[in-house]
């Protein structure tokens, strides 16, 4: 029997305090920078599997010639850059799904910079064979690389973080539209914390990093705004009077997924920053009517899309969602997964025009359906708040370990009845 978890709300308003994991986006960047700097103290590192995996693999690098990034995108992309410029020799691989996720843009750029990288099986995809780094001295300034701006920001961040170690530094040009810009800004801010500031032109399409070395630094990782999004969904769907407090979140955050505060205002969730305590309080305010179809852009915060689509359908407050292109190449095809699972409840995610998806519903009902999770942590956590509307079963609940290992425990402490089987 496959594992599953049954969820049921105990009744009454949702109230109390919920603990979030630390941001794995911040943590995995800080771990790479810390390794390159060779010192400093990192605190509040996430217990998410991706972060624990990054720590373990960085510690193992000196004594191994094979590294498995499993299903972790940041681990695969960031380690590709790190291992290339540090001259490591060996094979970098991942799960079967990871071997379907493209990496050719990053490998091509690193090859231009002097990395010897070969594809073990299919061109443009892991596994990779790294055979050292032989940079050509820059006679006329920095190493000049150019990549598309609409590719995964993880490629861009991987290149920026190794920029100080390239001949003459790095001048990186981003062509075309730039997606997920907050993640690029996060990378640059953390690089500056470790002593390697970058420069940008007026529209931040040309980024320059001087040659040099990182400096050891201490850094405390913020709690995860992506994880906070699920509690926003619970307050939005909860009984009247629901509120929840989330510690460890900063009003001046490096995380682009802080955008959830503004997005969820459309669904009646009010956000109050308790600055002295680094806390956020969420309260359920008046819900708007569904007469107007709002247009929301997820170009800079694609990890919020599943959460918002589920809430919009559940509340029958339709939204048009754009900027979802990267969802096709995540842990699963998240657009197809959302369409399949929402249909079980009377919801829909319909492409109403090219690149525009409308989340909507007719007769949305939660009555014991089982949600498939597709090896995707965000599918599990985006649908779990529906248990506030009726009994629900989530398949393969262990997938949450990737980013929020304590998620089910936090739901139980908040008042959900949880029953794991299998």
- Is the pLDDT reported for residue 290 higher than 70? no
* Nearest by Cα to 132 from 88, 176, 196: 88
Residue that the structure tokens 């006329």 belong to: 140
- Is the pLDDT reported for residue 221 higher than 60? yes
Let me know whether 311 and 359 are in one domain.
yes
Mean pLDDT score, 236-258: 95
**In a domain? residue 60:** yes
Let me know whether 47 and 31 are in one domain.
yes
**Enclosing domain of residue 338:** 4-20+223-421
Q: Of 209, 242, 272, at which residue does a domain stop?
A: 209
Q: Is 101 annotated as a binding residue?
A: yes
Instruction: State yes or no: cis peptide before 127, omega within 30 of 0.
Output: yes
pLDDT number for residue 207: 98
User: Two tokens at 157?
Assistant: 């961040």
- Is the pLDDT reported for residue 133 higher than 80? yes
Q: Is 402 annotated as a binding residue?
A: yes
Model pLDDT for residues 325-359, shown as the tens digit of each residue: 888 877 889 999 999 999 999 999 999 999 999 99
pLDDT number for residue 273: 95
Let me know whether 16 and 133 are in one domain.
no
**In a domain? residue 216:** no
C-alpha–C-alpha distance, residues 5 and 193, integer Å: 42
Q: Of 209, 244, 277, at which residue does a domain stop?
A: 209
**In a domain? residue 215:** no
Q: Is 295 annotated as a binding residue?
A: no
**In a domain? residue 147:** yes
Total domain count, the chain: 2
Query: Which of the two residues, 320 and 2, has the higher pLDDT score?
Result: 320
- Is the pLDDT reported for residue 141 higher than 90? no
pLDDT number for residue 163: 97
Q: Which band of pLDDT confidence, cut at 50, 70 and 90, is reported for residue 257?
A: very high
**In a domain? residue 214:** no
Let me know whether 48 and 8 are in one domain.
no
CB neighbour class for 5 (10 Å; exposed up to 12, middle 13-18, buried from 19): buried
Mean pLDDT score, 250-277: 93
pLDDT above 90: percentage of residues in the chain: 89
Let me know whether 183 and 265 are in one domain.
no
Give yes or no: 303 in active site. yes
Let me know whether 15 and 36 are in one domain.
no
Q: Is 344 annotated as a binding residue?
A: no
The alpha helices in 97-197, defined as continuous H runs, are: 104-113, 153-161, 181-193
Q: Count Cβ neighbours within 10 Å for each residue of 332-370 and write b for 16 or more, e otherwise.
A: bebbebbbebbeebbbbbeeeeeeebbbbbeebebeebe
C-alpha–C-alpha distance, residues 67 and 58, integer Å: 9
Q: Which band of pLDDT confidence, cut at 50, 70 and 90, is reported for residue 46?
A: confident
Q: Is 24 annotated as a binding residue?
A: yes
Let me know whether 367 and 242 are in one domain.
yes
Q: Is 154 annotated as a binding residue?
A: yes
Contact 154, 224 (CB under 8 A): no
Residues 6+ apart with CB under 8 A from 48: 21, 22, 24, 27, 401, 402, 403, 404, 405
**In a domain? residue 217:** no
pLDDT number for residue 287: 83
Q: Is 152 annotated as a binding residue?
A: yes
Q: Is 111 annotated as a binding residue?
A: no
pLDDT number for residue 1: 46
User: Two tokens at 207?
Assistant: 């980024």
3 state DSSP class of 355 = coil
Let me know whether 235 and 270 are in one domain.
yes
Let me know whether 180 and 299 are in one domain.
no
- Is the pLDDT reported for residue 2 higher than 80? no
For residue 405, give the CATH number of its domain. 3.65.10.10
| Alpha-carbon dihedral sign for residues 289, 293, 294, 299 | positive
Q: How crowded is the C-beta side of 89, counted as CA atoms within 13 Å?
A: 4
**In a domain? residue 218:** no
Q: Is 401 annotated as a binding residue?
A: no
Q: Of 160, 184, 209, at which residue does a domain stop?
A: 209
CB neighbour class for 170 (10 Å; exposed up to 12, middle 13-18, buried from 19): buried
* Nearest by Cα to 170 from 183, 157, 179: 157
Let me know whether 125 and 264 are in one domain.
no
Model pLDDT for residues 95-125, shown as the tens digit of each residue: 999 999 999 999 999 999 999 999 999 999 9
Query: Which of the two residues, 366 and 178, has the higher pLDDT score?
Result: 366
Q: Is 25 annotated as a binding residue?
A: yes
Let me know whether 336 and 237 are in one domain.
yes
Catalytic residue among 224, 243, 257, 303: 303
**In a domain? residue 54:** yes
Let me know whether 178 and 74 are in one domain.
yes
């Amino acid at each position: 029997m496959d594992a599953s978890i049954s969820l049921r709300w105990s009744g009454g308003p949702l109230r109390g305090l919920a603990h979030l994991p630390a941001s794995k986006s911040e943590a995995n960047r800080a771990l790479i920078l810390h390794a390159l700097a060779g010192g400093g103290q990192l605190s509040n590192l996430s217990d998410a599997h991706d972060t624990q995996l990054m720590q373990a693999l960085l510690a193992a690098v000196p004594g191994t010639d094979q590294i498995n990034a499993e299903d972790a995108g940041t681990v695969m992309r960031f380690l590709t850059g790190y291992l290339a410029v540090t001259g490591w020799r060996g094979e970098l691989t991942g799960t079967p799904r990871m071997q379907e996720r493209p990496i050719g843009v990053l490998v091509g750029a690193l090859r231009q910079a002097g990395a010897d990288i070969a594809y073990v099986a299919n061109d443009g995809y892991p596994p990779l064979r790294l055979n050292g780094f032989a940079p050509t001295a820059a006679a006329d300034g920095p190493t000049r690389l150019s990549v598309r701006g609409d590719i995964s920001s993880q490629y861009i961040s991987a290149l920026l973080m190794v920029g100080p170690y390239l001949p003459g530094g790095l001048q990186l040009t981003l062509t075309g539209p730039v997606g997920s810009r907050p993640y690029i800004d996060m990378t640059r801010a953390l690089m500056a914390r470790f002593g390697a500031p970058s420069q940008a032109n007026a529209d931040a399409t040309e980024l320059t990093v001087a040659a040099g070395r990182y400096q050891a630094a201490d850094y405390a990782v913020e709690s995860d705004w992506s994880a906070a999004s699920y509690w926003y969904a619970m307050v939005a769907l909860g009984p009247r009077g629901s509120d929840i407090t989330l510690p460890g979140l900063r009003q001046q955050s490096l995380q682009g997924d802080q955008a959830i505060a503004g997005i969820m205002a459309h669904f009646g969730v009010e956000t109050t920053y308790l600055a002295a305590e680094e806390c956020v309080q969420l309260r359920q305010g008046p819900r708007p009517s569904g007469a107007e179809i709002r247009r929301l852009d997820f170009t800079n915060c694609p990890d919020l899309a599943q959460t918002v689509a589920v809430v919009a359908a559940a509340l029958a407050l339709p939204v048009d969602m754009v900027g979802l292109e990267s969802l096709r190449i995540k842990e699963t095809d998240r657009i197809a997964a959302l369409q399949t699972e929402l249909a079980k409840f009377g919801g829909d995610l319909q492409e109403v025009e090219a690149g525009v998806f409308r989340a909507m519903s007719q007769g949305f009902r939660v009555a014991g359906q089982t949600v498939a999770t597709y090896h995707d942590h965000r599918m599990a956590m985006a649908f779990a708040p529906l248990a506030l509307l009726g009994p629900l079963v989530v398949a393969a609940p262990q997938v949450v370990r990737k980013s929020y290992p304590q998620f089910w425990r936090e739901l139980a402490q908040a008042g959900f009845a949880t029953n794991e089987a299998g």
